[in-house]
C-alpha cells in the first residue's frame, strides 16, 4: 500500500510539473502582446487664410445720373454686343421696365405651353394638382419673408402648371386671349438706354479704385511685408461707380502662409479655394509662387481660372485653401519597428509573428498613416493584426493565434 501510494504521489507530482511547464511555455508565447487592427483613415488638409484678390479688370465708364437696372449677375460673362444694364430717366421708368420683363416672361411661357407636345408633363392631373399646391405654399412663405426673387420664380412656375392643368382638363383650349393682352402691355414699352462694354469680360458691380493698381504684374515683386500692408487697408466699393469688366478669366489669390503650414505648399500644388462666408462652391487652383521670409512664413500665390461671384466681388477675402486629403492605413506610433534599415510592423500571421514593411505618408501626434498596398504579403494590409506592445519579437517567432 505504501509503495502504491508513493508511486501515485510521484506520478501526480510529475504530471503537475509537466502541466506547469506547459502553462509557463504557453504564457511565455502568448502573454504580453497587445494588437490593433490596421484600418483606413482620412485626414482633411486645409489652411484658413486672409489674402488679396488680383485680376485683369477695368472700370466701365458710365456718366452718373439716371436709374440703373442691371441685366447681368455678378461674375456673369458677357460679349461686346451684350447689354450690361439699362439707364432710365426716372424710378417710374425703371419700375415699368422690370414689370415689362415679368410680362414678357409670362407671355413667352404661355406661348411655349401652346406649342408644347410633351404630353408626359400634362397627362397626370393629380401630379399637377400636387405641384400647384406645393408652389402655392412656397409662394406664401416667400411672400411672408419678402423674398421677391423667389416670389417671381414661383409665380411663373404656377402659371405653367395651372396652364397645363387647364389644357388637360378642358377648362381652357388655348391662351390666345391672354397672350394678346400681354402683347398689348408690351407694345407701349420701351425707354431706357442700353449700356455696353467694348470688351468681352465678366461683370461685377464692385469697383474700389484699385483696378489699375493691383494687377498681375504686382505679384512679381510682392513679398510678405508688402502684402501685410496691403491687407491692412480697407477697400469699400465706390458708391458712384457703374461697374467693371474682368477681362481675363485667370485670376490670382495672394496670401501669407504661417510657418507651421508652409510644408503643405509647393509650386505646382493643386488646391481648392472656398470663400469663407461666401458661396459654398469650391474652385480649383494651383500654387504658382512661394516665397519664404526670414521668419519662416511664406507668400503663396494661387492661380485659378474658375470665375465665381466671390472671385470678382471682393478685393480681400477669407479663403479656406484645401489640399487633397491624406488617406491610408492608421497604425499606432508604438507599433513601428526598423528591421535591416526598413520601417515596418510586426503582425500576427496565423501561428507566428511576421514583419511587414510600411510606407509612411503622414505623421500624426500618436499615429502614422501608411500607404495602402493591396495584394502584397510583405507589406501592411487592411485589417492586419498589428502588434502594438510586445517584447522579444522577431520575424517568424511562433505564437498562438
Give 26-42 pLDDT, tens digit per residue.
Answer: 444 444 678 899 999 98
In this prediction, residues 63-77 reach a mean pLDDT of 79
Assess contact for 308 and 75: CB atoms under 8 A.
Answer: yes
CA angle 124, 127, 132 (to 5 degrees): 125
173: pLDDT strictly greater than 80: no
Q: Cβ neighbours of residue 333 under 8 Å, at least 6 residues apart?
A: 366, 367, 368
Mean pLDDT of the residues in the chain:
81
Count of all residues that appear for the chain in the document: 401
User: Where does the pLDDT of residue 44 fall: very low under 50, low under 70, confident under 90, or very high at 90 and above?
Assistant: confident
Give 75 or 239, the one with higher predicted confidence. 75
The whole-number pLDDT of residue 139 equals 76
Cell numbers for 394, please give them. Answer: 522577431
DSSP assignment of 43-100 equals: EEEEEEEEEEEE--EEEPP--S-SEEEE-S-TT-EE-TTS--EEEESSHHHHHHHHHH
CB 395 within 8 A of CB 378: no
Q: What is the dihedral of CA 68, 73, 74, 79, to 10 degrees?
A: -90
pLDDT band at 170 (very low <50, low <70, confident <90, very high): low
Spatial CA neighbour of 57 closest among 244, 195, 303, 307? 244
DSSP per-residue codes, 312-359: HS-SEEEEEEEEEEEEEEEEEGGG-EEETTEEEEEEEETTEEEEEE--
CA-CA distance, 342 to 288, in Å (whole number)?
Answer: 36
7 vs 243, residue with greater confidence: 243
Cell of 385: 493584426
Rounded to a whole number of angstroms, the CA Rg of the chain reads 36
Query: DSSP 3-state assignment of 256?
Result: strand
Q: In terms of pLDDT, which residue wins out, 27 or 115? A: 115
> Which helix or strand (DSSP H or E) is residue 385 part of?
strand 385-389
For the stretch 345-356, pLDDT in tens is 999 988 889 999
Contact between 167 and 122 under an 8 Å Cβ cutoff? The reply is yes
- What pTM was computed for the model? 0.63
| Pairing, β 316-332 against β 39-54 | antiparallel
Rounded mean pLDDT, 7-34: 55
221: left (phi over 0), alpha (psi -120 to 50) or beta: alpha
Residue 165 has pLDDT above 90, yes or no: no
> pLDDT confidence of 185, banded at 50, 70, 90?
low
> Residues 273-292: what's their mean pLDDT?
91
Does 360 or 180 have the greater pLDDT score? 360
- Backbone dihedral angles phi then psi of residue 17, each to the nearest 5 degrees: -65, -40
Instruction: Please tell me the predicted confidence (pLDDT) of residue 117.
Output: 44
Predicted confidence (pLDDT) per residue in 308-318, tens digit: 999 999 999 99
Q: Is the pLDDT of residue 227 over 90?
A: yes
Helices and strands of the chain, counted as H and E runs: 7, 20
Amino acid at each position: 500500500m505504501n509503495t502504491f501510494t508513493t508511486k501515485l504521489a510521484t506520478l501526480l507530482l510529475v504530471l503537475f510539473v509537466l502541466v506547469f511547464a506547459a502553462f509557463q511555455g504557453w504564457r511565455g508565447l502568448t502573454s504580453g502582446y497587445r494588437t490593433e487592427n490596421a484600418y483606413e483613415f482620412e485626414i482633411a488638409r486645409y489652411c484658413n487664410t486672409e489674402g488679396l484678390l488680383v485680376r485683369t479688370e477695368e472700370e466701365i465708364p458710365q456718366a452718373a445720373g439716371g436709374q440703373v437696372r442691371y441685366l447681368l449677375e455678378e461674375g456673369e460673362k458677357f460679349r461686346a454686343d451684350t447689354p450690361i444694364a439699362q439707364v432710365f430717366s426716372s424710378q417710374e421708368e425703371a419700375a415699368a421696365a422690370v414689370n415689362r420683363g415679368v410680362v414678357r416672361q409670362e407671355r413667352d411661357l404661355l406661348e411655349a405651353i401652346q406649342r408644347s407636345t410633351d404630353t408626359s408633363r400634362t397627362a397626370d392631373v393629380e401630379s399637377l394638382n400636387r405641384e400647384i399646391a406645393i408652389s402655392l405654399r412656397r409662394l406664401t412663405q416667400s411672400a411672408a419673408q419678402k423674398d421677391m426673387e423667389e416670389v417671381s420664380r414661383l409665380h411663373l412656375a404656377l402659371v405653367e402648371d395651372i396652364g397645363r392643368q387647364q389644357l388637360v382638363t378642358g377648362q381652357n383650349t388655348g391662351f390666345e386671349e391672354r397672350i394678346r393682352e400681354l402683347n398689348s402691355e408690351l407694345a407701349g414699352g420701351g425707354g431706357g438706354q442700353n449700356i455696353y462694354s467694348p470688351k468681352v469680360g465678366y461683370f461685377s458691380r464692385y469697383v474700389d479704385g484699385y483696378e489699375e493698381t493691383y494687377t498681375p504684374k504686382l505679384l512679381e515683386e510682392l513679398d510678405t511685408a508688402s502684402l501685410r500692408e496691403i491687407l491692412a487697408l480697407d477697400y469699400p466699393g465706390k458708391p458712384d461707380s457703374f461697374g467693371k469688366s474682368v477681362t481675363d478669366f485667370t485670376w490670382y489669390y495672394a496670401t501669407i502662409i504661417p510657418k507651421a503650414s508652409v510644408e503643405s505648399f509647393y509650386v505646382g500644388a493643386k488646391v481648392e479655394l472656398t470663400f469663407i462666408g461666401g458661396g459654398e462652391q469650391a474652385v480649383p487652383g494651383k500654387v504658382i509662387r512661394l516665397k519664404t521670409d526670414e521668419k519662416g512664413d511664406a507668400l503663396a500665390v494661387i492661380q485659378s481660372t474658375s470665375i465665381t461671384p466671390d472671385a470678382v466681388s471682393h478685393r480681400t477675402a477669407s479663403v479656406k485653401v484645401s489640399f487633397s486629403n491624406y488617406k491610408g492605413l492608421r497604425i499606432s506610433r508604438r507599433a513601428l519597428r526598423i528591421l535591416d534599415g526598413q520601417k515596418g510592423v510586426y503582425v500576427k500571421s496565423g501561428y507566428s509573428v511576421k514583419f511587414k514593411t510600411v510606407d509612411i505618408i503622414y505623421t500624426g501626434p500618436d499615429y502614422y498613416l501608411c500607404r495602402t498596398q493591396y495584394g502584397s504579403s510583405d507589406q501592411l494590409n487592411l485589417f492586419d493584426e498589428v502588434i502594438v506592445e510586445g517584447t522579444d519579437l522577431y520575424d517568424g517567432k511562433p505564437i498562438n493565434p
